[in-house]
């Protein structure tokens, strides 16, 4: 593997200048190989290499060289919003060359016309797919695509969209970046791309297992070396060993409860450090988190330990990530989602569980995939800090050592396969394709579908069934020589909900009397796009007893459907408490959820209520539309109907809105007419800002 001096590569002098400012003097072996395979000449490439091997710089070189030589626009696509924000910060450097860098995610019902003025656009796969459905004029100018974390094509949820985006980028310049892909020959051929395949890492990775032996724990590495650790718990023993060696540790556990319990346990064995008081205070001052979460974290973070999972608020996660990068927090105990979410390397990674919980299979557990293991273990080794990274699997029985070593450490990840092979994914694919193309013959639709990774026989089966189902349910019209979306189908495609979700609204709203808010919220949450949440056995009867009115959907007899029904009912109750202005802490405690869960539920139900009232409008269900429209307005900010006027002012949320309303300031005009009163209630600086915003709002209305 060779390194190449940046001065030896035929780069535009402007690119070279920025690289030198960054302190980049040479290209590493992965980057060198990409350049040799045609990166700077616009060749389509599939680059697979470990985490931290410099793939982002490869993308930057590819995009910038292309834009400087050929013009147009470049789109950088990621699977997660957190990654989108991270890449946006990194790519802002290139604005010094005169290129405008923009970011967009969420708000699927928009063509983002403002992006016509941007040259480099960072977005998510779902957002790009939604943009193609709306077909804005500027998207025709995009002639370079970077598909990051491309192995997400194997993900059951996001995979179909990643595959669709790759198909639609056919014929354009393309750079797919991925962790190791075992069947790269097939995937590179499918992408019509040159393959750049390497296992080079900037920090070598040493992998192993830890298992009990007598009264100690043995760490056996893949190079055959061993160390022995004293202690009563393998995770505690390894964490202590790594911290004493001056390293940081990421511990992965398979559930939030296990992550939290493990973090507290580790913290109890480590000394409190005075210099961490500042982090503790930052956590306690966060606005978007529950009191219980903050109290718990402020306690353990003083020992340099934190836990991290999707149940925490965004602000809490950002503080934990930032302080870990600064090397103040020494240990993070996380659920596996962290491995794919943000760039947080540590000297040591310990994977505490090789199983995940799955309520749909007997025993509630299934082994994690090799790819998931590779994602977690790939976080080991901090470039610039560590000469070597270590990744350790906890094996609780010595008899399983060889099995775990062989399956996870010595084996490649699972081959990438299409995830379009189910009705929900494929029918949505058909809908999106017709939305993008306008009109198609059945044969042209079939030709496009055969450009996927799915087996040809399955494509024909799903395509025939899908077109028939979409016609029967009013989404598409015409014959095999002239297929197009109906007005209903086009609206469903634009708002980016699954056709099966739209069918739920279409089946249950027409001809039904208006019901209470919980009934509508339950209907939304019951759709395939609705959020899912665990329901304990004790909760079942309590939930059913709380139902305040007849629901649109009757309780099913099927066990699986009953689970979805009760999950939707719990989501409906949570959302209803939210719009009734129940305090966040009360909601979190009552339903045993985290502040991050609440935010996710609110965001999803905001989108679904928007979708529902749009579907009701197309169906000309005026009364249902009016109820759903008002619900949508309330869900966004979590307010009663009486606050809808005052929260129109930017910067006024549920708490400030209630404070102003209680003091007889109930609409924007009241704010403008009572500036001193507003300042007294909200504070001088914020009050002045709110008065100005109210004045702008009024002038805009009038």
Quick: pLDDT tens for 211-238: 999 889 999 999 999 999 999 999 999 9
Does this model's pTM top 0.85? My answer is yes
CA dist 363 → 357, 358, 369 (Å): 9, 8, 18
> Are 4-197 and 205-409 in the same CATH fold?
yes
Percentage of residues in the chain having pLDDT higher than 70: 98
The closest of 437, 378, 423, 661 to 528, measured between CA atoms, is 423
pLDDT, position 362: 40
pLDDT, position 1: 63
List of residues 6+ apart from 554 with CB closer than 8 A: none
The CATH-assigned architecture of domain 4-197 is 3-Layer(aba) Sandwich (3.40)
The domain 499-638: what is its CATH number? Answer: 1.10.3380.30
CA dist 307 → 257, 300, 304 (Å): 10, 9, 11
List of residues 6+ apart from 197 with CB closer than 8 A: 48, 49, 184
pLDDT, position 361: 41
- CB atoms under 10 Å from CB of 658, counted, come to 18
Structure tokens at 79: 């699977």
Q: Tens digits of per-residue pLDDT, 523-581?
A: 999 999 999 998 988 888 888 888 889 999 998 888 778 889 999 999 999 999 999 99
Quote the CA–CA distance of 155 and 337 in Å, as a whole number. 13
CA dist 685 → 148, 387, 677, 692 (Å): 42, 50, 13, 11
Alpha helices in 394-481 (DSSP H): 401-404, 423-437, 442-449, 456-472
pLDDT, position 363: 45
Give 702's pLDDT tier (boundaries 50, 70, 90).
very low
The answer to whether 365 is annotated as binding is no
Give 110's pLDDT tier (boundaries 50, 70, 90).
confident
pLDDT(57) > 50: yes
Structure tokens at 441: 């013959």
Quote the CA–CA distance of 196 and 184 in Å, as a whole number. 9
pLDDT(502) > 80: yes
To which CATH superfamily is domain 646-701 assigned? 5' to 3' exonuclease, C-terminal subdomain (1.10.150.20)
pLDDT averaged over every residue in the chain: 93
Q: Tens digits of per-residue pLDDT, 617-633?
A: 999 999 999 999 999 99
Percentage of residues in the chain having pLDDT higher than 90: 83
pLDDT(167) > 90: yes
Class of domain 205-409: alpha beta
CA dist 15 → 63, 76, 96, 119 (Å): 11, 18, 10, 16
pLDDT, position 111: 87
pLDDT, position 28: 94
In the chain, what are the domain boundaries? 4-197, 205-409, 423-473, 499-638, 646-701
Quote the CA–CA distance of 61 and 152 in Å, as a whole number. 23
Length of the chain equals 702
Q: Tens digits of per-residue pLDDT, 340-396?
A: 767 788 999 999 999 987 654 444 578 999 999 999 999 999 888 889 999 999 999
Q: Tens digits of per-residue pLDDT, 656-701?
A: 999 999 999 999 999 999 999 999 999 999 999 999 999 999 987 5
């Amino acid at each position: 593997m060779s390194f190449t001096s940046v001065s030896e590569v035929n780069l535009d002098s402007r690119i070279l200048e920025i690289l030198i400012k960054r302190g980049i003097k040479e290209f590493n072996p992965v980057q060198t190989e990409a350049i040799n395979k045609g990166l700077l000449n616009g060749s389509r490439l599939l680059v697979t290499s470990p985490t931290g091997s410099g793939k982002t710089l490869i993308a930057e070189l590819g995009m910038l060289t292309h834009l400087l030589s050929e013009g147009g626009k470049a789109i950088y696509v990621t699977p997660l919003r957190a990654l989108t924000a991270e890449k946006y910060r990194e790519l802002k450097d290139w604005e010094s060359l005169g290129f405008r860098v923009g970011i967009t995610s969420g708000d699927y019902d928009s063509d983002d016309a403002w992006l016509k003025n941007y040259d480099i656009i960072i977005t998510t796969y779902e957002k790009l797919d939604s943009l193609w459905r709306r077909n804005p004029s500027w998207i025709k100018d995009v002639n370079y695509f970077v598909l990051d974390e491309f192995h997400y094509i194997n993900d059951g949820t996001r995979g179909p969209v990643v595959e669709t985006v790759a198909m639609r980028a056919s014929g354009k310049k393309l750079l797919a970046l991925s962790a190791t892909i075992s069947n790269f020959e097939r995937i590179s051929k499918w992408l019509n791309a040159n393959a750049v395949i390497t296992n080079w890492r900037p920090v070598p990775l040493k992998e192993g297992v830890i298992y009990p032996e007598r009264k100690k724990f043995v760490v056996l590495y893949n190079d055959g070396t061993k160390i022995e650790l004293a202690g009563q718990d393998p995770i505690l023993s390894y964490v202590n060993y790594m911290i004493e060696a001056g390293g940081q540790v990421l511990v992965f556990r398979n559930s939030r409860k296990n992550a939290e319990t493990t973090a507290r346990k580790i913290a109890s064995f480590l000394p409190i450090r005075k210099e961490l008081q500042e982090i503790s205070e930052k956590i306690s001052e966060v606005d978007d988190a529950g009191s219980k979460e903050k109290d718990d974290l402020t306690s353990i973070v003083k020992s340099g330990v934190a836990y991290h999972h999707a149940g925490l608020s965004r602000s809490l996660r950002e503080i934990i990530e930032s302080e870990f990068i600064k090397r103040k927090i020494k240990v993070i105990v996380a659920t596996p989602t962290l491995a794919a979410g943000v760039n947080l390397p540590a000297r040591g990674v310990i994977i505490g569980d090789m199983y995940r919980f799955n309520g749909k299979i007997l025993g509630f557990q299934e082994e994690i995939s090799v790819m998931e293991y590779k994602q977690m273990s790939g976080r080991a080794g901090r470039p610039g800090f560590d000469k070597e990274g270590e990744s350790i699997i906890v094996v609780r029985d010595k008899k399983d050592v060889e099995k775990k070593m062989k399956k996870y450490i010595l084996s490649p990840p699972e081959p990438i396969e299409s995830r379009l092979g189910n009705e929900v994914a494929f029918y949505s694919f058909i809908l999106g394709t017709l939305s993008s193309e306008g009109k198609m013959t059945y044969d042209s639709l079939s030709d496009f579908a055969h450009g996927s990774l799915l087996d040809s026989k399955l494509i024909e089966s799903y395509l025939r069934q899908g077109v028939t189902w979409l016609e029967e349910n009013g989404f598409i019209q015409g014959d095999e020589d002239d297929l197009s979306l109906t007005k209903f189908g086009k609206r469903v495609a634009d708002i980016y909900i699954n056709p099966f979700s739209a069918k739920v609204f279409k089946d249950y709203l027409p001809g039904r009397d208006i019901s209470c808010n919980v009934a509508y919220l339950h209907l939304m949450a019951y759709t395939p796009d609705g959020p899912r949440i665990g329901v304990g056995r004790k909760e079942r009867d309590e939930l059913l007893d709380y139902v305040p009115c007849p629901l649109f959907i009757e309780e099913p007899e099927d066990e699986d459907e009953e689970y979805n029904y009760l999950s939707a009912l719990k989501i409906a109750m949570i959302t209803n408490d939210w719009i009734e202005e129940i305090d966040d802490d009360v909601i979190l405690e009552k339903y045993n959820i985290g502040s991050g869960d609440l935010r996710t539920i609110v965001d999803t139900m905001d989108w679904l209520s928007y979708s529902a009232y749009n579907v009701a409008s197309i169906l000309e269900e005026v009364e249902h539309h009016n109820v759903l429209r008002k619900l949508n307005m309330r869900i966004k900010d979590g307010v009663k109907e009486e606050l809808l006027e005052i929260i129109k002012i930017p910067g006024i949320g549920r708490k400030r809105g209630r404070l102003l309303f209680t003091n007889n300031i109930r609409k924007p005009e009241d704010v403008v007419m009572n500036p001193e009163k507003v300042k007294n209630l909200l504070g001088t600086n914020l009050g002045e800002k709110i008065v100005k915003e109210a004045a702008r709002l009024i002038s805009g209305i009038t």
